Amino acid sequence: MINSKIVGLGAYVPSNIVTNDKLSEFVDTSDEWILTRTGIKERRVSIDEDTSELATRACIEALKNASIKADDVDHIIVATVSPDMFCPSVSCIVQNNIGAVNASALDINAACSGFLYGVKLANSLIKSGEAKIVLVVGAETLSKVTDWTDRRTCVLFGDAAGAAVIKATEENGIMAVHTMAEGDKWNALKIDGIPVRNPFVKAEERAHYISMNGQEVFRFATRVIVEATRKVLKKADLNISDITYIIPHQANLRIIDYASKKLGFPIEKFYINLDRYGNTSSASVPLALYEMFQEGKLKKGDKIILVGFGGGLTYGATLIEW
Ligand code: UT7
């Protein structure tokens, strides 16, 4: 039977660090508010690197760690809500940058759940026999769609990219996937942009920035992080006690704390790096997985759940055996 497995990881973050104190210099906020309400201490903000550049660097490292050549890649899937431009896709630019001449390439938009949607697609492509090697990337430069005068959002987000090489194998790897959307709440998290339905209408002045009903998204997130985790456990016929780590979307420490209590899963077994990067949307889960790999925390046979939620509103989870 064909399975799919993550065989290489890469990540890249811009070098420019913006601390909570730095933000407090130009917007009415404080380190104390941001830390206690979210757990975030600092984030990375790109100065001159676009999303495709972050994604490219993450992909090059992931391929190197997987010992796979770029021209062996069959598909590139980039999950992003902050692409370089409407067209072409970030994935086509990445394809060119890394020399993946035999790959097809497309972007997907499932906001902060994007990487998990990408993993689901990669898993399906591999299991159907359509592909043997798929690069799944979450990459964002949210700083360019952040309203730096809006304290409700500008303290939350950061720039980053994370990439995974997913390969056909007979070993255990991706054991269960689940994604879902609740489009009735589409209005809760938006990046409006120019009005493409009627380009002759002038865009509202701040329409190209992220706007969010934080409390609505918070309620959604605390519910679905638990639901999605339970769903993949059920699909894989496992219990929470079989799980070594949960890698959650890094939006808010309070959401992770809630999930820990509700699932009866110790907070120490959730990987958390939001204090250093903030919410990097589709990049957050692969960046966290990459850091665990770099820190030598992932052992063969470990069962790990990746879980995320975000704009759409969307959510998803994946249960993998390392
Ligand atoms: O990745 C996509 C998924 N996104 C999420 O999961 C985000 C989910 N939501 C959240 O994490 C939280 O709702 C936030 C962190 C966005 C906000 O935290 P909150 O505890 O829900 O705060 P709030 O919106 O209820 O605001 C409380 C107060 C308000 O003041 P008043 O009206 O009580 O006087 C805000 O104006 O805090 C104020 N406030 C701030 N104060 C200082 C909001 N942002 C700030 C700020 N600094 N940055």
Considering the domain architecture, whether residues 196 and 282 belong to the same structural domain is answered as yes
- How far apart CA 143 and CA 189 sit, in angstroms, is 16
| 200, burial (CB in 10 Å: exposed 0-12, middle 13-18, buried 19+) | exposed
Say whether the peptide bond before residue 116 is cis (omega within 30 degrees of 0): no
Considering the domain architecture, whether residues 236 and 311 belong to the same structural domain is answered as yes
User: Is the pLDDT score of 197 beyond 90?
Assistant: no
Considering the domain architecture, whether residues 144 and 278 belong to the same structural domain is answered as no
- Ligand 1 site, residue 251, Cβ cutoff 6 A: yes
Ligand 1 centroid to 152 CA: how many Å? 6
53-55-58-63 Cα dihedral, nearest 10 degrees:
-110
- Ligand 1 site, residue 214, Cβ cutoff 6 A: yes
Considering the domain architecture, whether residues 180 and 66 belong to the same structural domain is answered as no
Considering the domain architecture, whether residues 115 and 134 belong to the same structural domain is answered as yes
**Number of domains observed in the structure of the chain:** 2
Q: How confident is the model at residue 284 (pLDDT cuts 50, 70, 90)?
A: very high
Considering the domain architecture, whether residues 86 and 130 belong to the same structural domain is answered as yes
Residue nearest to atom 38 of ligand 1 (CA): 152
279 close to 158: Cβ distance less than 8 angstroms: yes
Ligand 1 centroid to 214 CA: how many Å? 6
From the list 75, 112, 123, 178, the catalytic residue is 112
Last residue of a domain, one of 121, 141, 171: 171
Residue whose CB lies within 8 A of the most ligand 1 atoms, among 149, 218, 258, 315, for a mutation test: 218
Considering the domain architecture, whether residues 196 and 315 belong to the same structural domain is answered as yes
Mark whether 75 is an active-site residue.
Answer: no
What tens digit of pLDDT does each residue of 30-65 get? 999 999 999 999 999 999 999 999 999 999 999 999
Q: How confident is the model at residue 77 (pLDDT cuts 50, 70, 90)?
A: very high
Q: What is the pTM of this model?
A: 0.96
Considering the domain architecture, whether residues 150 and 182 belong to the same structural domain is answered as no
- Ligand 1 site, residue 252, Cβ cutoff 6 A: yes
CATH number at 272 reads: 3.40.47.10
- How far apart CA 183 and CA 273 sit, in angstroms, is 29
Last residue of a domain, one of 171, 198, 223: 171
Q: How confident is the model at residue 134 (pLDDT cuts 50, 70, 90)?
A: very high
Considering the domain architecture, whether residues 16 and 148 belong to the same structural domain is answered as yes
Considering the domain architecture, whether residues 167 and 179 belong to the same structural domain is answered as no
Mark whether 112 is an active-site residue.
Answer: yes
Query: What is the residue whose two structure tokens read 């309620």?
Result: 219
Nearest alpha carbon to residue 111 among 311, 316, 307, 313 = 311
User: Is the pLDDT score of 204 beyond 90?
Assistant: no
Note the pLDDT of residue 192. 87
Mark whether 249 is an active-site residue.
Answer: yes
Considering the domain architecture, whether residues 270 and 309 belong to the same structural domain is answered as yes
Residue whose CB lies within 8 A of the most ligand 1 atoms, among 37, 142, 255, for a mutation test: 37
The boundaries of the domain holding residue 190 are 175-321
Last residue of a domain, one of 130, 149, 171: 171
Considering the domain architecture, whether residues 32 and 51 belong to the same structural domain is answered as yes
- Ligand 1 site, residue 112, Cβ cutoff 6 A: yes
Note the pLDDT of residue 202. 72
19-11-312-222 Cα dihedral, nearest 10 degrees:
-70
- How far apart CA 302 and CA 322 sit, in angstroms, is 5
Average pLDDT score, the chain? 96
Nearest alpha carbon to residue 316 among 112, 72, 35 = 112
Ligand 1 centroid to 248 CA: how many Å? 20
Nearest-atom index, ligand 1, CA of 279: 1
- Ligand 1 site, residue 38, Cβ cutoff 6 A: yes
